[in-house]
Structure 1
Amino acid sequence: MKISVGEAEGQLADLVRRAETGDEVILTRQGRAAVRLVPVKAPQSVAERERILAAAREEGRAKITPGPSAARSQDFLYDDDGLPA
């Protein structure tokens, strides 16, 4: 549903109810879409957030590939005395 900002002023409570039930409500200004009303998602529980973070950490660990240490990756540029080669 598209409605102008001017028309929406008197119907705000109804428009909010419609958005909460899943209807797409777009407010227009001079015929152009300006904003969309969408319902606010319920905040996640602490346990759910911890589960998501644990899954992200595990996925990150799975992507780690062994390779040379970054601390020693440029050693070939220096001689045994630490001077540029």
Structure 2
Amino acid sequence: MRVSVSEAKGQLTDLVRRAEAGDEVILTRHGHAAVRLVPVAATPDHRSRRALLEAVRSSAAAKATAGPPAARSQDLLYDREGLPG
């Protein structure tokens, strides 16, 4: 649901209830999205953000494989004489 900021002034209580119920409420200014109303419970706290970040980092570290050294990373582009292959 998109509502202009000027319209929202008179409907704030209803808009907050709708956001708490799970409806997406976006306030617009001059036709452009300016603010999204989101229930506090849906906003992740600092600890859960950190836990998510750590989970992503550990997952990425587990999937990472060592590649060729930087000095040899482009060797596949050239033949034995050093010409583009």
TM-score, normalisation: structure 2: 0.48
TM-score (structure 1 length as normaliser): 0.48
